[in-house]
Structure 1
Amino acid sequence: MNKGTNTLSILHCAIIRHGNYQQLAHTPSALQPFPLNSQGKQQALAGAKELASLLDKHECMLAPQVDSSNLLRAWQTATIFIDELQQYFTSTPTLSGYDALAERSVGSAANLSIEQINAILAADPRFPAPPENWKSDSHYCLPLQGAESLLQAGQRVKQHLTDWANASAATTTSKTVKLFFGHGAAFRHGAHHLGLLPFDKIAALSMYHARPIMFKVEDGQFSHIDGSWKIRQATDIPID
């Protein structure tokens, strides 16, 4: 495989959603601290093989600095990818965790069920009842300390990726792919802020567990080059 060369103004990156884990029932995924289950580990192994094929196809190597959400399921997924793809890194890889890549936070209601959260809001005279679909409403932010909307979560993901692009534009000299490991909803809303997904596509799409989506960044503009978004079916229950 050839490393290839590239102009200074063109960068490459990939976003990878964590593998499957045992999410609490009827509970926003948010900051749940649980590890990958056996299925999630297998998904990460398969995703690493898929990424290797994409790297060969595009004649790319991997940037050694790998970024991950600090949530365990994302960190474990990143670790499996790193272990499986050692030969593709341009130098010894390092894994760094960032709160900016986490899933949407529900603040002080973290890891409570939807029923419990609704009951808390109903018992507090300061707050109106939330919309029925508040968990998947991109604009809605729970009126609780530390909570954020899905769009706000996407904004911090977008900022993390654009900060990387801005810092790397003048220093990246080889055709390398920077890896970001995180969460489906935050990544999709981040993609919207980056101009990659129109707003009406956010709810229509999801991300496959541990399967990479690759982007090119040219003069600060992100564009999709490979990997697939998952199309939601009418019967799908959103869990991200």
Structure 2
Amino acid sequence: MARLIAAILRHGEYHQLPDTPSALQPYPLTGVGAEQAERSVTLIQGVLEMFKWRLHPVIDSSRLLRGWQTAEMIRKGLQIASQDRLQIESYDALAERSLGSAANLSLQQIESVLRDDPRFSPPPAGWKSDSHYRLPLQGAESLMDAGQRVAEHMQQRLVELQSQVKSDTVKLFVGHGAAFRHAAHHLGVLPFDQIAALSMYHCRPVFLECVPDGPWQHLTGEWKIRSKGESFDD
């Protein structure tokens, strides 16, 4: 049976508002972020050649601009050497954790909203990095919620390919670091206590194998070791 591998890749650096949980910020890549996306093409091609894996021609990306831009730069770079016509399909399911009605507010503004609403208690210290905490606001998710959403999307997409591929195949998913790490936990790749200890490099893929009827496996690609005191970032 052909192997199915998911390559998860965090978007490049982008024009992120300071002190603001990333969530649904609509801003583009910086110049550095564009360079990161372009360099990732060589990394992906090197892994494909090393293991003799085929790249599936459809790249799944987050709908957020930084995700789509990253995927498009990678698509263009990989298209040069590909015999297939590569394309991008964008999905809400690959977005980072949503803060619902608090989307794109600063940390100070969010905490002020909760303080001024008599229905809510103040958020716990370090709530932004708390995997289980969900803001008590309409449409908000926890990091674990976002990871479950992303994991379900990845699982569904690779299961769909099981009857279609005849050789070991990699499907590329471009999205957001925290959601991908929590998805890896849901898929059985990362123990829970490793989620907070790790991060993802911008535009450096991590390859995970979809194992039928079992937990997924980490094959290659480095997680980033989180520095002490570093907060979750998408």
With normalisation by structure 2, the TM-score equals 0.96
Partners of 1:46 and 1:65 lie apart in 2 by 20
Which residue does the alignment assign to 1:120? 113
What is the aligned counterpart of 1:39 among 6, 12, 32?
32
| Amino acid aligned to 2:116 | A
Instruction: Confirm whether residue 70 of structure 1 aligns to residue 78 of structure 2.
Output: no
How far the C-alpha of 1:165 sits from its partner, in A, is: 2.1
Find the aligned partners of 1:220 and 1:65 in 2 and give their Cα distance.
Answer: 24
* Aligned-partner Cα distance in 2 for 1:150–1:109: 15
Structure 2: gaps spanning 5 or more residues: none
Asked if 1:230 corresponds to 2:224, the answer is yes
Contact 2:155 2:210 in 1 (8 A): no
Q: Kindly indicate whether the alpha-carbon contact (under 8 Å) linking 1:30 and 1:104 is maintained by their aligned counterparts in 2.
A: yes
Residue 183 of structure 2 corresponds to 190
Residue by residue over 1:138-176, the C-alpha shift from the partner in whole angstroms, topping out at 9 and shown as x without a partner, is: 000001011000000000000001111221112211222
User: Is the 8 Å Cα contact of residues 63 and 89 (structure 1) preserved in structure 2?
Assistant: no
Tell me: CA distance 1:140–1:71, structure 2 relative to 1, closer, same or farther (3 Å). same
TM-score, scaled to structure 1:
0.94
**Match of 1:14?**
7
Deviation at 1:90, TM superposition (A): 5.0
**Deviation at residue 113 of structure 1 after TM alignment:** 0.1
Q: Deviations over 1:177-225 (max 9, x none)?
A: 1000000000000000000000000010000000011122232441111
Match of 1:239 in 2: 233
C-alpha distance in 2 between matches for 1:239 and 1:218? 29
Whole-angstrom distance in 1 between the partners of 2:166 and 2:27: 38
What are the ranges of 5 or more consecutive residues in structure 1 without an aligned counterpart?
A: 1-6
Mapped pair 1:137 → 2:130:
yes
Structure 2 letter corresponding to 1:161: M
SS at match of 2:29: coil
> Partner amino acid for 2:222?
S
Alpha-carbon contact 1:127-1:143 (below 8 Å) kept: yes
C-alpha separation in 2, matches of 1:191 and 1:215: 9
The question of whether the paired residues in 2 share the 8 Å contact of 1:61 and 1:88 is answered with no
Question: Structure 2 residue aligned with 1:108, among 101, 108, 111?
Answer: 101
Which amino acid letter does the alignment assign opposite residue 230 of structure 2?
D
- Identify which of 85, 93, 96 aligns with 2:78: 85
| C-alpha displacement of 1:235 | 4.5
- 212-221 or 46-55, which moves further after superposition? 212-221
- RMSD (Å) for aligned C-alpha atoms: 1.2
User: Would the aligned equivalents of 2:151 and 2:187 in 1 still touch at CA under 8 Å?
Assistant: yes
Aligned length: 233
* Secondary structure, aligned partner of 1:214: strand
AA in 2 matched with 1:163: Q
Please report how far the alpha carbon of residue 87 of structure 1 lies from its aligned counterpart in structure 2 after TM superposition.
Answer: 4.3
Letter in 2 for 1:108: S
